[in-house]
Amino acid sequence: MGRKILFITTDQQRYDSLGCNGGRIARTPVADRLAATGINYRRAHNQNVVCMPARSTMITGQYVRTHGVYANGVPLPPDAPSVAAYLRERAGYRTALIGKAHFEPALDPTFRWFENRMASEDSTGPYRGFERMELAVHGWAFDRYHYCRWLTANFPGEERGYYRLFTRDGMNAKGGGDTGAPQIALNPIPREHYHTDWVAERTIDWLDSLAADDDWFVWMSFPDPHHPWDPPAAETRRIPWRELDLPPGHPGSHDKIVAILAQKPHHWLDWYEGRFNNLEGGPQHFVPCKMTHDQVREVNALIHVENELIDEACGRVLARIAGRGWDADTDVFFTTDHGELQGDFGLLFKGPYHTDALMRLPFLWRPAPAARVAPAVIDAPVGQLDLAPTFCAIAGVPVPDWMQGAPLPTAPGPGRERVLTEWDSQFGHIDMHLRSIHRDGYTCTVYERGALYDGTEGELYDVREDPLQWRNLWSDSGYRTLRADLVADLYDHLPPERTPKLAVEAPA
């Protein structure tokens, strides 16, 4: 009998959303307790700032340029390596993924990819090394996923309360709620029928199907707090939006937003003022400068509500694990795929913007108490590609050669110097390529040559002195030597790109 692994992920959750990371609004006692009794990685970054590339890194333990999923329109190949399959084959682990998978494009009207037709085929796997998969997504996706079919079969009509994420001309930008903020809906669904609680209950049901001496790895993947923001309306009273201040990263006025964005490469200000269409990060008709301060407040309030519901759902699953007598032998991880701008710089959603709001992750590991690992706060840079090797170490199996990360450190110390993040647009007319390194308290981003940039532009921030990343030091002569050193270090540590490059099959 070995150690068990509960791998909890959310979708699009900021680092500072948790109390243990300085969050002051959403109450997250369960995550905070994991941090207090485990390890809190204060400088964990993703390897890409959108869903499919980040999730593909987590399952493979590989850089984006190795597994090849550089955008949401590029499916992870069926034969891609999987840490779930490796644990099952080498260590006999029982494996499951409950919630959001998204290794394959969701824009799939012909049900080309198995994730999107599993439920309609009454299948729960096995797939990608998971002996059981039960899937859900944010918003509403007709009867495409297991949660959707469960809801319509058991509580017909309740699905109509969800925001409709897509329309015939693309992602829906229609406003809702009290302020008309984009992608908000007041959802009358009862809390116990909402997908957050469903994911927790289906995880508990799967755990209850296991024998007491089974070793298991379950990826519990919540679709929230990704847009659209449509939690149960009865829960929104937890955090009245009218009582919120603007978030710290919001400059507070149009003029200050323009002054800050004008220091950055031009697509930042172009998006804010409506000249750049951020097709890969939000609804195509959304123009950030038209967003009111009250809309920012309402969006933030709903996100905080969703984060509280997730925290409470995690608590129920952890209580069930303890009830089975497994707590002492269970390692618990909590993280997300990427963050959310959430009003920073006067912006919303995500996209080709390498800033802490999107790159820096909540990243907690509560080692099994039986392992006797002392609680710690670690500031050294780590990444999503380090998760799969850590799962291998817990299971007592060698880290395979195809994984490019390393087991996470369990105590502060030398050895971790940098973490890398990339972005490659899937649209030819955008043709944007960002390469970032975080090292020694600096985040440096190179804009490679493409349709929008000539290869000389970039960003450089001292995040210790400028945590909001409002002052771009890229062109500051006093930082020229440091910039050159960081850029050289970045390219020295990027692995070769996959050849041939995978095709964009369903742009999103």
Residue 423 maps to a domain:
no
d(CA 469, CA 461) in angstroms, rounded, equals 6
Q: What is the mean pLDDT of residues 58-86?
A: 97
Comparing 173-177, 267-271, 310-314, the range with the smallest average pLDDT is 173-177
Q: Which two tokens stand for residue 430?
A: 């955008």
Q: Which two tokens stand for residue 468?
A: 């909001």
Q: Say which residue, 443 or 2, is predicted with more confidence.
A: 443
Confidence at 491, pLDDT banded by 50, 70, 90: very high
**Residue 296 lies in domain:** 4-252+286-417
Residue 261 maps to a domain:
no
Comparing 104-108, 176-180, 262-266, 453-457, the range with the smallest average pLDDT is 104-108
User: What is the model's pTM?
Assistant: 0.98
Phi-psi region of 92 (alpha: psi -120 to 50; beta: other; left: phi over 0): left
Q: What is the mean pLDDT of residues 439-455?
A: 97
The predicted structure's pLDDT at residue 168: 59
Q: Which residues fall within 8 angstroms of residue 322, CB to CB, at 6 or more apart?
A: none
The predicted structure's pLDDT at residue 170: 64
For residue 138, give the amino acid letter. H
The string of pLDDT tens digits covering residues 142-165 is 779 999 999 999 999 999 999 987
Distance of CA 51 to CAs 100, 196, 384, 399, Å?
10, 18, 12, 25
| Cis, peptide link before residue 251, omega less than 30° from 0 | no
Within 10 Å of residue 237's Cβ, how many Cβ atoms?
8
Q: Are 8 and 321 in contact (CB under 8 A)?
A: no
Q: Say which residue, 138 or 69, is predicted with more confidence.
A: 69
Residue 450 maps to a domain:
no
Distance of CA 88 to CAs 84, 156, 273, 418, Å?
6, 38, 50, 31
- Which residues are paired to 96 by β-bridges? 132, 218
CATH code for position 242? 3.40.720.10
Residue 432 maps to a domain:
no
Residue 307 maps to a domain:
yes
Q: Say which residue, 336 or 2, is predicted with more confidence.
A: 336
Q: What is the mean pLDDT of residues 107-118?
A: 93
Q: Is the pLDDT of residue 196 over 90?
A: yes
d(CA 31, CA 318) in angstroms, rounded, equals 11
Distance in angstroms between the alpha carbons of the first and the last residue of the chain: 44
The predicted structure's pLDDT at residue 77: 97
Confidence at 508, pLDDT banded by 50, 70, 90: confident
The predicted structure's pLDDT at residue 17: 98
The string of pLDDT tens digits covering residues 11-31 is 999 999 999 999 999 999 999
Q: Is the pLDDT of residue 167 over 80?
A: no
Side-chain-side CA neighbours of 448 within 13 Å: the count stands at: 13
Instruction: Give the angle subtended at the CA of 311 by the CAs of 206 and 40, to the nearest 5°.
Output: 100
Q: Mean of the per-residue pLDDT values for the chain?
A: 96
The predicted structure's pLDDT at residue 2: 74
Residue 487 maps to a domain:
no
d(CA 56, CA 104) in angstroms, rounded, equals 9
The predicted structure's pLDDT at residue 143: 79
Residue 335 maps to a domain:
yes
Question: 374 exposed, middle or buried (CB, 10 Å; 0-12, 13-18, 19+)?
Answer: exposed
Residue 23 maps to a domain:
yes
Q: Which two tokens stand for residue 22?
A: 């300085």
Q: Are 340 and 349 in contact (CB under 8 A)?
A: yes
Q: Is the pLDDT of residue 297 over 90?
A: yes
Q: Is the pLDDT of residue 346 over 80?
A: yes
Question: Per the structure, how many domains does the chain have?
Answer: 1
Q: Is the pLDDT of residue 341 over 70?
A: yes
The string of pLDDT tens digits covering residues 206-248 is 999 999 999 999 999 999 999 999 999 999 999 999 999 999 9
